[in-house]
């Protein structure tokens, strides 16, 4: 639908000789759109990665639910952050920016002029670096809190060995994790900023790599 609407408002000079040329043109344009969309969507998976690490520390990793957006099984915190980021996307009108970005690609990459560069995998390599950096920046408060909790439990285990640290630790980690998640709610704009900036950078890199 977006392609049909954009086609009405841009100047398109399509040249092809045979049906096979027309088919090749359609395939090239489809691949161009898929590549740009794929690299933009990659940033969304940082949230899944961060959420799974959080749940591993808190103790929620055993509970998996279906994420209809990513079409994968994911953990509770991962799903919570995914919907929160999606909400921030609509609240901040980021979805309009994405639509405008796709529209502007026609002025940078003319129809039929895309160059499918085999070095696109270098973008994926660069993304993997940012994938782990941004993911660990999101998880860092939970890591710090759980480190303190584990230190306290280790001291209690030496001071009072008759206490069952497994039972106490499991409940303490869950309560601490929920408290930290509640306190981190006000930092959702910052987290969404990490994701949106990465999404913008990946879209720009993919567009200029296809020129």
| Model confidence pLDDT, tens digit, residues 12-48 | 777 777 888 788 888 888 888 888 888 888 888 888 8
CA 102 from centre of chain? 18
Check residue 70 and give its pLDDT.
65
Of the chain, the percentage scoring pLDDT greater than 90 comes to 2
Tell me how far apart the alpha carbons of residues 77 and 146 are, in angstroms, rounded to a whole number.
15
Name the nearest CA neighbour of 61 among 44, 78, 47, 45: 78
Residues 6+ apart with CB under 8 A from 122: none
| Predicted TM-score (pTM) above 0.75 | yes
Position 69 pLDDT exceeds 70: no
Tell me how far apart the alpha carbons of residues 120 and 108 are, in angstroms, rounded to a whole number.
17
Coil vs helix vs strand at 150: helix
Q: Is 12 left (phi over 0), alpha (psi -120 to 50) or beta?
A: beta
CB 91 within 8 A of CB 180: no
Position 157 pLDDT exceeds 70: yes
């Amino acid at each position: 639908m977006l392609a049909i609407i954009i086609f009405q408002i841009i100047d398109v000079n399509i040249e092809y000789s045979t049906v096979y040329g027309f088919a090749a043109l359609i395939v090239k344009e489809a691949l161009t759109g898929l590549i740009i969309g794929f690299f933009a969507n990659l940033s969304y998976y940082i949230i899944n990665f961060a959420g799974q690490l959080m749940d591993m520390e808190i103790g929620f990793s055993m509970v998996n639910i279906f994420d209809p957006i990513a079409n994968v099984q994911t953990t509770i915190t991962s799903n919570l952050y995914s919907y929160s980021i999606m909400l921030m996307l609509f609240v901040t009108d980021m979805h309009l920016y994405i639509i405008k970005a796709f529209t502007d690609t026609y002025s940078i990459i003319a129809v039929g002029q895309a160059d499918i560069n085999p070095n696109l995998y270098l973008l994926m390599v660069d993304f993997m670096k940012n994938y782990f950096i941004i993911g660990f920046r999101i998880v860092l408060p939970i890591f710090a809190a759980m480190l303190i909790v584990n230190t306290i439990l280790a001291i209690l285990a030496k001071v009072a060995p008759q206490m069952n640290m497994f039972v106490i630790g499991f409940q303490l980690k869950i309560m601490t994790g929920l408290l930290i998640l509640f306190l981190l709610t006000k930092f959702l704009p910052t987290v969404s900023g990490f994701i949106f900036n990465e999404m913008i950078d990946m879209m720009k890199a993919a567009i200029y790599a296809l020129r």
